[in-house]
Amino acid sequence: MHGLAGDQQCDVNDADSLSSCCLFRYPELIKLQQLKDEQGELSSSDEKRYKTLKRQCERELLSNADVICCTCVAAGDLRLTKFKFRMILIDEATQATEPECMIPIVMGAKQVSVCVYVCVCMCV
């Protein structure tokens, strides 16, 4: 899942990308991520704090994003449940099943655009 705001792009599922997007606003998150990378795990209190800060950062990034890009299935992610989208674009819709396409649609979109690419193959 990617959040796009202006010229900044952040992948909320990638720790490095999330860290770079939250560098100035959440320095404690960066320190905890580095500690986790070095030690492999955090203490229970540090892990709890890490998860709290990560959720705050994700929420802030997604709330400020002009565009959120994700798969149809990821549109049902808990991090997006409180968002209402005016428009949904389903790209390469022929690659998804009908139930997968319904996930973003039932999230309350006012407009839905479906892109379908037709390929005619000629065998020689």
pLDDT given at position 43: 92
Q: Is the pLDDT of residue 124 over 80?
A: no
How far is the C-alpha of 117 from the C-alpha of 100, rounded, in Å? 18
Say which residues have a Cβ less than 8 Å from residue 14's Cβ, sequence separation at least 6.
Answer: none
Question: Can you give the pTM of this predicted structure?
Answer: 0.67
| In contact, 1 and 68? CB cutoff 8 Å | yes
pLDDT given at position 48: 94
- Tens digits of per-residue pLDDT, 30-80? 888 889 889 989 999 999 998 998 888 888 888 888 888 888 888 888 888
Residue 36, Cβ neighbours under 10 Å: how many?
A: 15
- pLDDT band for position 122 (cuts 50, 70, 90): low
Quick one: average pLDDT of 88-103? Answer: 87
How far is the C-alpha of 9 from the C-alpha of 31, rounded, in Å? 21
pLDDT given at position 15: 59
pLDDT given at position 44: 93
Q: Is the pLDDT of residue 25 over 90?
A: no
How far is the C-alpha of 53 from the C-alpha of 55, rounded, in Å? 5
Percentage of the chain modeled with pLDDT above 90: 9
pLDDT given at position 117: 75
Tabulate helix, strand, coil % of the chain (nearest 5): 50, 15, 35
Kindly tell me the burial class for residue 12, based on how many C-beta atoms sit within 10 Å of its own C-beta (0-12, 13-18, 19 or more).
buried
